[in-house]
Amino acid sequence: MDFLLKKEKPTTNKNKGSSTGFYGFGLDLSSPVESVMGSIETESNEEDYLTGLTTMFKELPLFFVNISKVNGIMCTKNIIVQWVVESVGEGVHEVVEGDTVIPFFLPDCGECTDCLSPKSNLCSKLPFSVSPWMDRDGTSRFTNINGETLYHFLFVSSFSEYTVVDIAHLTKIDPATPANRACLLSCEVSTGVGAAWKTAKVETGTTVAIFGLGAIGLAVAEGARLCGAKRIIGVDVNPDRFEIGKKFGVTDFVNSRNCGDKIVSQVIIEMTDGGADYCFECVGLTSLVHEAYASCRKGWGKTVVLGADQPGAMLTFSSFEVLHSGKTLTGALFGGIKPKTDIPLLIKRYMAKELQLDKFVTHEVDFKDINKAFDLLTGGKCLRCVIWMNK
Ligand SMILES: NC(=O)c1ccc[n+]([C@@H]2O[C@H](COP(=O)([O-])OP(=O)(O)OC[C@H]3O[C@@H](n4cnc5c(N)ncnc54)[C@H](O)[C@@H]3O)[C@@H](O)[C@H]2O)c1
Ligand SMILES: [Zn+2]
């Protein structure tokens, strides 16, 4: 059952950087964060208005970060925020000064075949890549105090009080939404919930297996719970995740390091008498994609890949296996959600006390304590930490 559409129907580069993988770009935390931040020039650039492509903001109330190891470098992998529009460029009609908005990394131009189709969130006009530039014109809008170019990050660039974002990366939201909750929908919670709701289309009474109970996996559980899944099996190497998972509807837990002489997929096939209806890989390991695929039921089982493995990591399936299993394997960038329409819908479901966002926020810090927030995340001590810019 579609928990969102049940109540309300949604209304309806040239990049110079080379992609090093989904999250191959980021902030090198070996440099003090303050020194990176302190050098951003926040004055508006007249060109922004002339291009008619950009939107500028004031009052960045908070942003939210999560980090992971990418090729050995600690990178910000999500910067999710809620902002207030300061001014708009020519040709921007969707938002006006003073609007409350959420930015997102995945473009939604609203014009191309894919953006116009309800079946896809993969824009063709501004195809997603990991780039240090604005995606429409391949330039940067930032300089430091010496006039040197600073790079954008995932088209959002929120480690500053002001930024410039293409209108394809923004959606307007209800300003009554608490900022420290709305920001969660800028990336990961939307991704996980969307994967269950939009990509898998989890049905009432079904069984779901989630590999990895980080924020993405827990958001999948939340989406599956809202869709009416009967049984939600969480798989993780950290046993603490089961207690946390219960808050989001996880009913069973499998510690993949504690399966005796069995592999995880054998355990799940036994638990479900033939395999789960839906499996989600939420870690970023191809080996787990294979386990997830093996854990879903022949004939109709569907496996959704959310995790981002190293660039070039390969999946291998025999054609016999594919032919005879009748299973579906698909990826879900941003959970398959169409950000401009689906994020405001998710906010409505939060305001209606259906979607649980509160439990994802385990810590809140001021900007001066940003390094503490990174420590909490790398230490696995928090699910999501909200960082306030100007509380
Ligand atoms: N599809 C998208 O659009 C999208 C968006 C954001 C993030 N992601 C990706 O989703 C993945 C998960 O993100 P997250 O923020 O939840 O990460 P996270 O680090 O917070 O959580 C990962 C979880 O996986 C568990 N884990 C690690 N190794 C495991 C193993 N071998 N077996 C079982 N569990 C294991 C960890 O204990 C942890 O609980 C990452 O790869 C991230 O890059 C994808
Ligand atoms: Zn498009």
Ligand 1 in reach of 307 Cβ (< 6 A) = yes
Residue 343 binned pLDDT confidence (cut-offs 50, 70, 90): very high
Distance of CA 265 to the CA centre of its chain: 26
Q: How far, in Å, from the CA of 307 to the mean position of ligand 1? A: 6
- Which of 183-192, 363-372, 381-390 is modeled with the greatest confidence? 183-192
Q: Which ligand is nearest to the CA of 244?
A: 1
What is the model's pLDDT at position 391?
66
Ligand 1 in reach of 198 Cβ (< 6 A) = no
Q: Read off the pLDDT of residues 291-314 as tens digits, 9 standing for 90 and up.
A: 999 999 999 999 999 999 998 999
| 341 neighbors 12 (Cβ within 8 angstroms) | yes
Residue 75 has pLDDT above 80, yes or no: no
Q: Read off the pLDDT of residues 114-139 as tens digits, 9 standing for 90 and up.
A: 999 999 999 999 999 988 998 888 99
Ligand 1 in reach of 334 Cβ (< 6 A) = yes
What single letter denotes the amino acid at residue 389?
A: M
What is the model's pLDDT at position 82?
61
Residue 325 has pLDDT above 80, yes or no: yes
Atom of ligand 1 nearest to the CA of 235: 33
The CA–CA distances, whole Å, from 4 to 89, 169, 195, 224, 349 equal 33, 22, 13, 12, 8
Angle, in degrees to the nearest 10, between helices 286-295 and 264-271: 20
Average pLDDT over residues 315-341: 96
Q: How far, in Å, from the CA of 306 to the mean position of ligand 1? A: 8
Ligand 1 in reach of 212 Cβ (< 6 A) = yes
Atom of ligand 1 nearest to the CA of 22: 43
Give CA–CA dist 203/350, Å, rounded: 21
Buried b / exposed e across 78-92, counting CB within 10 Å, b at 16+? bbbbbbbbbbbbeeb
pTM of the entire predicted model: 0.84
Residue 32 has pLDDT above 50, yes or no: no
Q: Read off the pLDDT of residues 369-378 as tens digits, 9 standing for 90 and up.
A: 888 888 888 7
Atom of ligand 1 nearest to the CA of 212: 24
Q: Read off the pLDDT of residues 9-27 as tens digits, 9 standing for 90 and up.
A: 333 333 333 333 333 222 3
Residue of the nearest CA to atom 6 in ligand 1? 188
Ligand 1 in reach of 309 Cβ (< 6 A) = no
Instruction: Give the H or E element holding residue 180.
Output: helix 179-182
Ligand 1 in reach of 234 Cβ (< 6 A) = no
Ligand 1 in reach of 77 Cβ (< 6 A) = yes
Atom of ligand 1 nearest to the CA of 195: 1
Average pLDDT over residues 35-44: 33
Q: How far, in Å, from the CA of 217 to the mean position of ligand 1? A: 7
Q: What is the pairing mode between strands 149-150 and 164-166?
A: unpaired
Ligand 1 in reach of 238 Cβ (< 6 A) = yes
Half-sphere exposure of 123 (CA within 13 A, CB side): 22
Ligand 1 in reach of 26 Cβ (< 6 A) = no
Residue of 267, 282, 286, 310 best suited for mutating to test ligand 1, as the one with most atoms within 8 Å of CB: 282
Ligand 1 in reach of 131 Cβ (< 6 A) = no
Give CA–CA dist 38/105, Å, rounded: 23
What values do phi and psi take at 68, rounded to 5?
-150, 170
Percent helix, strand and coil across the chain, each rounded to 5? 30, 20, 50
Atom of ligand 1 nearest to the CA of 23: 43
Q: How far, in Å, from the CA of 148 to the mean position of ligand 1? A: 35
Lowest average pLDDT, out of 48-52, 91-95, 212-216, goes to 48-52
Residue of the nearest CA to atom 24 in ligand 1? 212
Tokens for 149?
């170019």
Ligand 1 in reach of 218 Cβ (< 6 A) = no
Tokens for 170?
């923004």
Q: Read off the pLDDT of residues 195-240 as tens digits, 9 standing for 90 and up.
A: 999 999 999 999 999 999 999 999 999 999 999 999 999 999 999 9
Residue of the nearest CA to atom 31 in ligand 1? 237
Lowest average pLDDT, out of 153-157, 167-171, 255-259, goes to 153-157
Tokens for 45?
């650039």
**Burial, 319: exposed, middle or buried (Cβ in 10 Å; 0-12, 13-18, 19+)?**
exposed
Residue 389 has pLDDT above 50, yes or no: yes
The CA–CA distances, whole Å, from 164 to 127, 142, 195, 233, 388 equal 19, 9, 29, 41, 19
Ligand 1 in reach of 281 Cβ (< 6 A) = no
Residue 159 binned pLDDT confidence (cut-offs 50, 70, 90): confident
Give CA–CA dist 366/232, Å, rounded: 35
Give CA–CA dist 363/147, Å, rounded: 36
Residue 50 has pLDDT above 70, yes or no: no
- Higher local confidence (pLDDT), 7 or 326: 326
Atom of ligand 1 nearest to the CA of 377: 20
For the chain, what is the mean pLDDT? Answer: 81
Give CA–CA dist 25/69, Å, rounded: 11
Residue 61 has pLDDT above 50, yes or no: no
Ligand 1 in reach of 194 Cβ (< 6 A) = no
- Higher local confidence (pLDDT), 135 or 284: 284
Ligand 1 in reach of 283 Cβ (< 6 A) = yes
